[in-house]
Structure 1
Amino acid sequence: MDWHERLNSGEDMLCQQAVRIPLPDVEAERDLHENMMRIADAGERKSRLLDDPDVPLMEVYEDELNEMRRSFEYRLEQVAGEDYYDVATAYLDGERDDWIGALAAYYLECYYRLQERYTVDEQIFLLVILRYPDCFTVNLSFLTGDVSSDAVRYESSALSEADLSDRDQEQYYADSQYSQHKAAEYLRESVDRIRDAFPEPDSTPIEQRRHGGFVHLTGRRGPAFAEVLEALTPNPDRFDDEASTPGLVPEGPEARRAKQRLLIDAEVLI
């Protein structure tokens, strides 16, 4: 039985789930802050690549996917060691029922979905990270459908299959470059929302770092791309129990509202 057959036989146990990670001390908060700064830095890198006319848009897209895949592979090894595939499949097969197996299965499914995005271009990736008083949640969703008008859209003339005249092709190229420039501008202005949501714990009072979050959406349909990066405010009273160990929890109302607002006719894959 391959990975996706195992996943389907697991009765969608990973669908519409989020990872909940405790924040028991300042060291854990430092680690969270550093991870969020890496995400912000990756957004700035993407904006620079988008703004470079010598870099094809497909290279920008593949660079982003590679960065996300490396991040998931790192988390898989951090959670379950080098045998993370065996740990994840044992969880889906019902041979183990612990948080390590659950997180390994969740991260591995996201890892494979990212690999598929090289060949499946009509798939939307949505990331929601929220900070609560004693923990944070990471909600990753892969969906099909369309993106609402709230998204910034940009195109690649090189990916278009339209049969255009030389004059129209030149105009399409110019319009595509301009759309990429505007998307780069949007990302540069938006990445500070990540930094604002997860400030440096050693220099920020605890009252100012107990709540915050963001949503990041990326999608592609043929030559057209869509992007959203916005701040989200979590409900501080969502959890009535203290986070003791990492684990899976149902996605929160913040993520559900973001999907309803940002997506049209969406179907959840995970």
Structure 2
Amino acid sequence: MDWQERLDSGADMLRQQAVRIPLPDAESERTLHENMARIADAGDRKRALLDDPDVPLTEVYEDELDDMRQSFEHRLLQVAGEDYYDVATAYMDGERDDWIGALAAYYLECYYRLQERYTVDEQFFFLVILRYPDCFTVNLSFLTGDIDSDGVRYESATHGGGDLTDSDREQYYADSQYSQHEAAEYLRGQIGCIRDAFPDPDSTPVEERRYGGFVHITGRDGAKFAEILDSLSPDPDRFDGEASTPGLVPEGPEARRAKQQYFTDVEIAI
């Protein structure tokens, strides 16, 4: 299989699929909580950077991308060890058929596609993480379409305003800074939904943490950026049985509903 064929195969790894991870014990519950807390902390850092007029929007997104890269590389190392690339490509080449290879291929594809993310206009990063009584799922894909009125929109003076007069460019810069401040305020109000969905298992009764989740959508069309971060309720009837081992599962009805709710003319790019 050549590299282009492997990329096409990798894209199929993400298309309408999700990772399902069992939660068999207290340690796995605590690890999930800590991982979600790190995602929330990254959102707080992004909010602070968006609100800093001395930080270009490109740097804000580079920081977010670096954090995501590290997160997926950490997952790859956890799942498959230092040889994760060989494990993932062996799975995509049909040389192995096990859950370790499947998850390594999924995470590696996420890792690669995220590196391309900010060079591609009109494409949105779509992430859904959901908690069920005995497991959690991670659903990542890349979508095209128009985001509805939910969420927040903001602009980057670095990416636009090239044909404006000096005075208009100053106004455009001020407007862009204000829109980024509005985006920071939006995130300030929404980041709590991640922490609420995955509370500390050491201080929260199990009945209060059996279900939870969130959806995060972010992307840009030229100089215009958009962001949605919101709670998402898991479907209690999604799975028939308990999760015995990690693996890939079809995306759930929750993700499908979120795509229809937040987008018009949505299409799956990857």
Q: Which bracket does the TM-score occupy, shorter chain normalised?
A: over 0.9
Aligned length: 270
Q: Deviations over 1:213-250 (max 9, x none)?
A: 00000011111110000001101221111111100000
Report if aligned partners of 2:24, 2:134 keep a CA contact under 8 Å in 1. yes
Question: Equivalences for 1:151-170 in 2 at 5 Å?
Answer: 151-170=151-170
Cα deviation digits, residues 15-47 of structure 1 (max 9, x gap): 110000000011110000000000000000000
Distance of 1:2 and 1:183 partners within structure 2: 42
Q: Secondary structure at the match of 2:237?
A: coil
Percent identical residues: 78
1:27 matched to which residue of 2? 27
The equivalent of 1:229 in structure 2 is 229
Return the offset for 1:266: 2.3
1:268 equivalent in alignment to 2:262 = no
Q: Aligned to 1:81, what secondary structure does the other structure show?
A: helix
User: Where does 1:110-189 land on structure 2 (aligned, <5 Å)?
Assistant: 110-189=110-189
Give unmatched runs, 5+ long, in structure 2: none
State the secondary structure of the residue aligned to 1:228.
strand
Matches of 1:14 and 1:179 in 2, distance apart?
Answer: 32
What is the TM-score when the length of structure 1 is the normalising length?
0.96
Instruction: Report deviation, 1:121.
Output: 3.0
* Aligned pairs for 1:1-270 within 5 A: 1-9=1-9, 12-270=12-270
- Residues 3 and 89 in structure 1, CA contact (< 8 A), matched pair in contact too: no
Partners of 2:69 and 2:257 lie apart in 1 by: 26
After superposition, the CA RMSD in angstroms is: 1.4
After superposing the two structures, state which structure 1 stretch, 36-45 or 10-19, moved more.
10-19
Partner Cα separation in structure 2 for residue 237 and residue 10 of structure 1: 29
- Is the CA contact (8 Å cut-off) linking 2:14 and 2:141 kept in structure 1? no
Q: Is the 8 A contact 1:47 1:184 kept in 2?
A: yes
Could you state the TM-score of these two structures normalised by the residue count of structure 2?
0.96
Give, in whole Å, the separation in 1 of the partners of 2:120 and 2:2. 19
Unaligned runs of 5+ in 1: none
- Distance in 2 of aligned mates of 1:123 and 1:9: 20
Deviations 1:23-82 (A, max 9, x none): 001111000000000000000000000000000001001110111011111111111111
